[in-house]
Amino acid sequence: MRQDSLPVADSLVTLFLELARIPSPSGHERAVVDFLITRLRGMGLDVVEDEALYPDSRSSAGNLYCRLEANTAGVPIMLSAHTDTVPSGEEDLPEPVLEGDMIRSGSHAVLGADDKAALAAIVEAMAAIVHGNLPQAGIELLLTVGEEGGLRGAKASSLEDMVAECGFCLDCTGPVGGVIVRSPWQKTVNASFFGVSAHSGVVPEEGRSAVAAAAKAVAGMKLGRIDEETTANVGIIKGGEAVNVVPGHCIIQCEARSHDTGKLETQVSQMIAEINQAAAEEEVDIEITVVDEFQGFDFSAGGLPIELAERAFSRMGLETTRTVTGGGSDVNVFNLKGLPCVNLATGMEKVHTSDEYISVKSLHEMQDFILALVTEACEPGAGAGDPGNSDEPADG
């Protein structure tokens, strides 16, 4: 690892490099969660880990909760980031490399700036607050597992005991200063086609191809960018046993997203109609499940988390960029659970690839933002105004 340009006292970069070296693909976060528990408890903070998400052991660790009691008046806030990364190849281990101001992956593995850059900034900011006994109106941490695996940690989390009035999730690409103010609803459509297997070279007429039915269904679907608010995709098709066998089973997994709930329902209905029609034409049976993956939110008109974030960026001399996204994050779940929350850009780029990188400057801007946010939450009038109404459907 090349650290020739790393200042000796740059504990933030050192912490990020330590976190990035720990493999933690979704479902295998145990090592990084233990690292964070040790680090936070070393500050004297009370850290609680919830139980593993599901009895089928799809997660090796739980979410981490931590609260720093207020020492002054103001708005208590929640900070959140996730501990998992997308998977890399089994033989690929993270080898972060510092090249001047840029930190890149030194291997075919993902760097893990998504979302370990945010973890490092949060932990270092908390250390500065605790050790400096800085004024703060109450800070709660929720560090989730399983975000990359379908927001599983956030969905399993409990916010009932939280006193935070709003939350901030640091988990978005783009320059620091970016704020996601609008995110879509998403549904997945899973279909299993059941035909009849037969030898394709001897008695093909006795078979009924599940793959042919699935292909016909996909061909009839409206996919890609449907309009400026709506997208749809078929991501997985699996079927067949051998090239000389008429396939008796096939599955397709699809998704649809929209900022407009009416458009989402229309799109999902169209996909289901094509599945049913193809199954009928090919004389195969069908099972369909539709899952509400997450609900959207809309802070376009402002709200408490937007107000505080913009004031903190202004304090830093950074311009706020309000952004609409087609993606989802833990923020969607937190808003659904009743905590007004926004997602913030961290400076990470080319995430989910071996070309992922982040600058040292962005790491420090994140830490500085958290400290500025904590200060703004203590300012008179910080809690005035509408906290946001993210549960209302975005009708476009």
**pLDDT at residue number 150:** 87
* Closest to 279 in 3D by CA, of 193, 386, 171, 173: 193
Last residue of a domain, one of 294, 321, 343: 294
From the candidates 84, 229, 368, 376, give the one annotated as an active-site residue. Answer: 84
Q: d(Cα 388, Cα 355) in Å, to the nearest integer?
A: 37
Known catalytic residue: 160?
no
Looking at the structure, tell me whether residues 266 and 129 fall in a common domain: no
Is residue 198 a contact partner of residue 109, using CB atoms and an 8 Å limit?
A: no
**What is the signed CA dihedral for 307, 308, 309, 311, rounded to 10 degrees?**
80
CATH, residue 211 = 3.30.70.360
The parent domain of residue 238 ranges over 185-294
Q: Could you list the pLDDT tens digit for every one of the 396 residues in the chain?
A: 344 444 445 999 999 999 999 999 999 999 999 999 999 999 999 999 998 565 555 678 999 999 999 999 999 999 999 999 998 877 678 889 998 899 999 888 899 999 999 999 999 999 999 999 999 999 999 999 999 988 999 999 999 899 999 999 999 999 999 999 999 999 999 999 999 999 999 999 999 999 999 999 999 999 999 999 999 999 999 999 999 999 999 999 999 999 999 999 999 999 999 999 999 999 999 999 999 999 999 999 999 999 999 999 999 999 999 999 998 899 999 999 999 999 999 999 999 988 999 999 999 999 999 999 999 999 766 665 555 544 443 333
**pLDDT at residue number 89:** 75
Is residue 194 a contact partner of residue 249, using CB atoms and an 8 Å limit?
A: yes
Known catalytic residue: 147?
yes
Evaluate whether residue 96 is within a structural domain.
yes
Evaluate whether residue 141 is within a structural domain.
yes
Bridge-based pairing of strands 178-183 and 297-298 is: antiparallel
Looking at the structure, tell me whether residues 86 and 146 fall in a common domain: yes
Evaluate whether residue 49 is within a structural domain.
yes
Q: d(Cα 338, Cα 315) in Å, to the nearest integer?
A: 28
From the candidates 29, 140, 147, 171, give the one annotated as an active-site residue. Answer: 147
Evaluate whether residue 73 is within a structural domain.
yes
Bridge-based pairing of strands 102-104 and 249-258 is: unpaired
**pLDDT at residue number 396:** 31
List Cα–Cα distances, 154 to 65, 98, 151, 158, 294, in angstroms.
Answer: 12, 32, 5, 8, 11
CATH, residue 134 = 3.40.630.10
Evaluate whether residue 3 is within a structural domain.
no
Count the domains in the chain: 2
Looking at the structure, tell me whether residues 287 and 306 fall in a common domain: no
**pLDDT at residue number 295:** 92
Looking at the structure, tell me whether residues 168 and 26 fall in a common domain: yes
Looking at the structure, tell me whether residues 53 and 163 fall in a common domain: yes
Looking at the structure, tell me whether residues 124 and 258 fall in a common domain: no
Evaluate whether residue 269 is within a structural domain.
yes
**pLDDT at residue number 373:** 97
